[in-house]
Chain A
Amino acid sequence: MSVTTRRTRLAAAALAAITAIGGLAACGNDDEPAAGEKPAKLVVDTFGEFGYDEIVKQYEKDTGIKVELRKTAQLNEYRPKIVRALATGKGASDVIALEEGILNEFKANPANWADLAPLVADHSKDYLPWKYELGKAPDGRLIGLPTDVGSLAVCYRRDLFEAAKLPTERDQVAALWPDWNGFIETGKKYRAATGKGMLDSVTTASSAVMFQKGGDLFYDKEDNVVAETSSSVKAAWDTGVAMADANISAKTATWSPEWSAGFKQGTFAATFCPSWMLGIVQENSGPENKGKWDVAAVPGGAGNWGGSWLAVPEQSKYQKEAAKLAEYLTNAQNQVAAFKLKGPLPTNLEALKNPDFLAYTNEYFNNAPTGKIFGDSVAKIQPLHLGPKHQGIKENAFEPALRSYESGQAAKDKAWEQFAKDAKTQGAF
């Protein structure tokens, strides 16, 4: 044991001691509140950008309760924090935002969450019906109130479409692909003209197909894994395979460095955009590409990709007040305010009819009327059922298998077998 390592160990020990003391201090106000006592402060946990900063100021004025917003940039850093709080029974905030991919797995253990139904007014008619239903646990408890949905559109590069002798106006571009065959044909034309792939990756397109079809995806209503027999999954797979065969993608896996760099470099000219993806496209493309991107309707009808709910953990000492805060944050007026600030698409039916929302245009995307484009398609979204480990199956079974086929690492049957096998293990809960 050399001196330096001992010293670092001591330093680590000191640090641990300090954290422990800090932790104890934080637990100092742990006494049970008296019934009906008003909390001094409520803590809200969100990831990405929910646009709540301005909204909670008004809430603080109205109620005299302070609100602390804890933000985490990325979902994959956010999820472990929630898991830790639930696993240890300590440290959860009062209101927690749950993304659709992680909501499902947390619904599998509903005892961790408060039932909101008795705590707030009846909102069963105020939101997109399917979205409201998804906030319910298998045992019927209302776990989350809807915040936003993703909806679907296609982001495309006007300049690259022009170079490939394709139309550039939104309506004409949408007319190129009334259905998925049209999309594949366009991709072939693009490949013939430029020698490049039009689409970023077949997996983004497959996700879109899956969410458009709706119904049962990887699970049936009883939450048995039915990945192999689900018609929606099969349709998504077959579309992905057809696109791989037609060679219309640039084979840049979503979120990879190749993908992020591809926006600036023009590696591809189109990607599938839920509302929340616009910010990511903008960030990756940089200010120098302002006005080059535009938004067109998606082939094959409406669908949804992503979106969240606000939940109150059982650990919270002020469940009633926390539920009221979640109710306030998701009301019509505040959903429109959040959309204008940061872009999460409303789910409240009244908010979706709001003229301010419908008139909104996005400057970066060549002033595309994103409020109207996304708003129109939201109404047509098919209800779908995502099982507990939907995200795990999608990201660790479906997409890798499809990419393996596209890159030629696995034959078609072999890739499907791999998916079926992994779906079983990833989907168990």
Chain B
Amino acid sequence: MSLPATTAPPPPAAPPPDPSTPRRSRAHSLTRLDLKFSPYLYIAPFFVIFGVFGFYPMLRTAWMSLHDWNLVGDHTFIGFDNYTALVTDEYFWNATVNTFGIFLLSTVPQLLLALFLANLLNRTFLRARTVFRMAIFMPNVVSVAAVAIVFGMLFQRDFGVFNWLLGMVGVDPVDWDAQRWSSWTAVASMVNWRWTGYNTLILLAGMQAIPRDLYEAASIDGANQWKQFWRITLPMLTPTFVFVVILSTIGGLQLFTEPLVFANGNITGGDQREFQTLAMYMYELGIENLNTAGYGAAVAWAMFIMIALFSLLNFLLVRRSVK
């Protein structure tokens, strides 16, 4: 239900070139060239850098994934064998389940909380709004490794703060990294801590762009705060919300640092691989094991495809549900 775009007035027709003054026409053609090509020049740096550091490695990884590749040895072409092996690899599916589990545990509460906070910060009667807006972004500034180390300490089994708090209310200490539910909770809490504020700010920016007069009109018609939020804010926020969901999806499915630090740098993520994510499994095969680099590259591409599909699905779902 977007507003109809206002059509721009047609641009004034360019005056016909005057044949009697060749100098002016040359300058003119230069200007035309400038107009035509300089935008490409301005955006070139990004594409050049993306090509070198993004696109080429992707193709190279695809090429690697078709080989039995030893990182410090030789390699032989094996076609799609790595991919067929993936389908029956139980640890790959284990990592997939972990990744999606942690993703859901971190993204759903996070976005709901972000929406709630953004709505609070959007209130006109709130004092010291700037201070709050800055404060909410602070966790995102701290390096991810530092956050993971601190949370790792909080979730320690023997001398951790959380177990100490649980002990206060008479609950037995939890061995956080020994079960799925507890390790997922711990890792998801790190993600939530870091990204809630970030998403809040993006949603807030989206809310700021909604015209005030809509709310005024609604107030006059007697719609309460809740109705206004539901009927105006949410529908108008859809594009922003889709953007936030897709960003969270990409970040969430590439989760690596938090679970790795939580596992004390052990790439298998728990004794039973309770919280080994896809990115960790990719690293284990591609970098740690040396001789299975091709298989690791196949995991990387499988991840890429999953993220693309999942983002698309998200996009469709969010668009429909908000409509």
Contact = CB atoms under 8 A, between A and B. Distances in A.
A396 B268 contact: yes
B82 interface: no
Interface stretch (B67-75, B104-112, B220-228): B67-75
B314 interface: no
Interface in A67-81: 76, 80
Interface string B45-65: 110010001000000000000
Contacts of B290: 83, 105, 429
17 contacts: A83-B72, A86-B72, A108-B291, A109-B72, A252-B158, A253-B264, A255-B265, A257-B152, A258-B158, A265-B158, A392-B288, A400-B268, A400-B270, A409-B178, A418-B272, A428-B292, A429-B291
Given A109-B72, A400-B271, 8 more contacts: A10-B45, A12-B49, A76-B265, A87-B71, A261-B156, A396-B268, A410-B272, A428-B292
Contact of B264 (A87, A108, A256): A256
What's the dominant secondary structure at chain A's contact region? helix
Interface string B246-265: 00000000000000000011
B10 to A, nearest CB: 29
B271 A9 contact: no
Contacts of B53: 16
A257 B46 contact: no
A167 interface: no
Nearest to A392: B289
A257 B272 contact: no
B280 to A, nearest CB: 12
A396 B267 CA distance: 8
Nearest to B89: A425
Contacts of B175: 407
A10 to B, nearest CB: 6
Interface of A: 1, 6, 9-10, 12-13, 16, 76, 80, 83, 86-87, 105-106, 108-109, 112, 252-253, 255-258, 261-262, 265, 267, 389, 392, 395-396, 400-401, 403-404, 407, 409-410, 418, 426, 428-429
Contacts of B133: none
B264 A404 contact: no
What's the dominant secondary structure at chain B's contact region? loop
A257 B271 contact: no
Interface string B141-157: 00000000000110011
B266 interface: yes
B46 A404 contact: no
A10 B289 CA distance: 34
A386 to B, nearest CB: 16
Contacts, number: 79
Interface string B261-287: 000111110111000000000001001
A341 B13 CA distance: 85
Given A262-B158, A407-B175, A409-B272, A9 B71 contact: no
A225 to B, nearest CB: 13
A407 B157 CA distance: 13
Contacts of A426: 289
A369 B23 CA distance: 95
B93 interface: no
B159 interface: yes
B281 to A, nearest CB: 12
Contacts of B292: 428
A253 B45 CA distance: 48
Given A80-B287, A83-B287, A253-B264, A407 B178 contact: yes
Nearest first, the 8 closest Cβ-Cβ pairs linking A and B are: A400-B271, A86-B72, A109-B73, A404-B271, A403-B271, A13-B49, A258-B158, A87-B71
A267 B173 CA distance: 15
A253 B152 CA distance: 14
B271 A395 contact: no
A108 B73 CA distance: 9
A106 B45 CA distance: 40
Interface in B114-173: 152-153, 156-159
B20 to A, nearest CB: 44
Contact of A261 (B49, B70, B158, B264): B158
Contact of B153 (A12, A257, A396, A410): A257
A262 B157 CA distance: 11
Contacts of A403: 271
A417 B157 CA distance: 27
B253 to A, nearest CB: 20
A256 B152 CA distance: 10
